Structure 1
Amino acid sequence: MTESSSSHYQVLQVAVTATEKEIKVAYRRAARTAHPDQGGDAAAFRRVTSAYETLIDPQRRKAYDRSYAAGTTGTDTGSSEAHFDAPPAGSRASATVHRPATARNTAGDPPVYVPPFGAGNGVPLLSLTEASQQVHGMPRKRGIFGAEARIQREMRTVQLLSRQVLPAIPAARLINGLQSPADNSHIDHVLFSGYRLALIGSMLLPKGAYAWDGQTLNHGGRSIAPPQLGHVVRAMQDIFPELNVTGWTVVHSPGGNLHEPVIDHHRRSAGGLDSVQIVNAAGMVRGLKEFLASGPAPNTVNVSVLARLLRGMH
């Protein structure tokens, strides 16, 4: 990595989750080394000072983290390039991804971290403990009306993913309660593995048969619009061009039956949400396993992407 492309966190050699005290300690250490009076380089000292002034101020750090999440600070994972099959038609994900030369392509294999943790790779963006954690965050209380019902259905989604998807794909990471990069709304859940990322929202509807036409769910003459995920999927795809990003809305039934309600998918009309799948709980589990496992290097944990999700979008 060149000095000009180093992030403020890398300049101070701290993780993106560093506390104010850790940043101060790191700054004093780096300043002593870089100061011209101590034989250091003036340009390096300016970089250290700039990094400290940004990260020690909560508002400036928050703004910097948002730009870091958008990938504008430039980082180099140090991994080699490899070409894989192109994403589905209509996706703007790049067909060129990064993976370690030794990565295996089986979703059930132990996770491979990119860049790897170990001596000679500098200070990691996240600690190994954080990167190894499969579930990050919990549904967040927001708003006044309907908050309890929303949290309950989000918790059902978390439990379902934790029990039926994460054990099958050890490299999968579930991040809950993120802020949308497209607007001030929230992303209930993000499921990330290898070079594929799924945004997940939820609904709670009575059991029965519903027809999905690409825009609304229709049941007994009643039309129900699902959560609007399409624009968030497009925004996340722009932020992470190396990933294949999709959206999923899981429809839970009050009784907890994973196969209810029944959702019939009719031919989608023009302007339908082609990037978002509308499924019941069983369909979500089945679909997400297939989506994540069929991607390139599904047992890879991209530490840079995970750090940007955890730090830059909260």
Structure 2
Amino acid sequence: MTESSSSYYQVLRVAVTATEKEIKVAYRRAARTAHPDHGGDAAAFRQVTRAYETLIDPIRRKAYDRSYAAGTLRNEDSDTEAHFDAPPAGSRASATVHRQGNIRNTAGDPPVYVPPYEDAPAGEVPLVPLAVASRQVHGMPRKRGIFGAEARIQREMRTVQLLTRQVLPAIPAARLINGLQSPADNSHIDHAVLSGYRLALIGSMLLPKGAYAWDGRTLNHGGRAIAPPQLAHVVRAMQDIFPELNVTGWTVVLNPGGNLHEPVIDNHRRTAGALEAVQVVNAAGMVRGLKEFLAAGPAPNTVNVPVLARLLRGMH
């Protein structure tokens, strides 16, 4: 296990939810095994020490977590690159990929965890405990900054309720993570939904009813241009971090009255067949489009545990 292919959590064999006490116990155990005086080697001992020094310090641990540091093991001798929007070859999930000719979609099936918890080697601590991985919703909107915090939290809570009631029940393996740190800048990602090998990043706006036109850059209403949250650069950054996933961005425009079909949003200047990195939709459009996007991916009934672990570490 090399530093480039494993996270500090894997080095110490602790879960991403490990407490300070658990990290100390794990360090003493790992240090005894890795120490040159006990048959280990200097490089492994340095790696264990570096992992401990990072995770035991709350500030350094938080910075490390927000970097979305690698949480998956890779075979460095393999010439095979990660396949975009596809599960690892030979994994249990690869057997359930929805291929052409396979009529039944697995999006509504019970979750399948990859790697399977029941197949974990004896004594190995999973990156995410099963009790945590089994939850569909992780984290809640938090107060940040001073101005407009209450309005933002209310808006984000409405989005959480929308996703929880309209999207998650249809896809049992979908996992909603709220309050991520953006890897592209110092901003935040309000919501992320992971299902199989697809990831949707979601921001929100609150606008009055009416007809709006989305031209790919701005929303236009009555001659007034409104700039939505800038998600495209965050989508690109997350795509670079998770090359095995298909990452998209969604901005949901909410109506103060709660009508899912208002405001009406027309898409203009859209190339036929083009897949935009970010979609701007009303609540009904997001529910419909997001379910289609997540369910159409390979193995949508899969919970990708290493990816989930990295996302959970990125929560602010």
User: What letter is aligned with 2:62?
Assistant: K
Q: Distance in 2 between matches of 1:27 and 1:138?
A: 31
Q: Distance in 1 between matches of 2:171 and 2:315?
A: 24
The two structures have a TM-score, normalised by structure 2, of 0.86
1:219 Cα shift?
1.5
Alignment of 1:30-69 (within 5 A): 30-67=30-67, 69=68
Deviates more, 1:299-308 or 1:35-44: 35-44
Equivalent in the alignment of 1:291? 293
Equivalent in the alignment of 1:178? 180
Alignment of 1:160-171 (within 5 A): 160-171=162-173
Equivalent in the alignment of 1:144? 146
1:75 corresponds to 2:65: no
1:112 Cα shift?
0.9
User: What letter is aligned with 1:28?
Assistant: R
Alignment of 1:200-279 (within 5 A): 200-268=202-270, 274-279=276-281
Q: Distance in 2 between matches of 1:151 and 1:107?
A: 30
- Per-residue CA deviation, residues 59-83 of structure 1 (Å, 9 max, x unaligned), is 333343344x153x76249xxxx99
Deviates more, 1:6-15 or 1:240-249: 6-15
Structure 2 CA distance for partners of 1:293 and 1:183, relative to 1, 3 Å: same
Q: Distance in 1 between matches of 2:302 and 2:59?
A: 33
Structure 2 CA distance for partners of 1:21 and 1:309, relative to 1, 3 Å: same
1:231 Cα shift?
0.9
Structure 2 counterpart SS, 1:30: helix
Equivalent in the alignment of 2:102? none
Equivalent in the alignment of 1:281? 283
Q: Distance in 1 between matches of 2:170 and 2:86?
A: 26
**Aligned to 2:87, which of 97, 119, 122?**
97
1:300 Cα shift?
0.7
Q: Distance in 2 between matches of 1:185 and 1:8?
A: 25
Q: Distance in 2 between matches of 1:70 and 1:51?
A: 12
Equivalent in the alignment of 1:112? 112
Q: Distance in 2 between matches of 1:178 and 1:112?
A: 24
Equivalent in the alignment of 2:160? 158
Q: Does the 8 A contact of 2:179 with 2:315 survive in 1?
A: no
Percent identity at matched positions?
82
Q: Does the 8 A contact of 1:181 with 1:313 survive in 2?
A: no
1:208 Cα shift?
1.1
- Per-residue CA deviation, residues 20-79 of structure 1 (Å, 9 max, x unaligned), is 111011112223334444455554433332322222123333343344x153x76249xx
Q: Does the 8 A contact of 1:233 with 1:246 survive in 2?
A: yes
Q: Does the 8 A contact of 2:85 with 2:297 survive in 1?
A: no
1:274 Cα shift?
2.9
User: What letter is aligned with 2:28?
Assistant: R
Equivalent in the alignment of 2:22? 22
Structure 2 CA distance for partners of 1:117 and 1:76, relative to 1, 3 Å: farther
Structure 2 CA distance for partners of 1:234 and 1:41, relative to 1, 3 Å: closer
Q: Distance in 2 between matches of 1:154 and 1:205?
A: 14
User: What letter is aligned with 1:51?
Assistant: A
1:125 corresponds to 2:123: no
Deviates more, 1:185-194 or 1:304-313: 304-313
Structure 1 counterpart SS, 2:177: strand
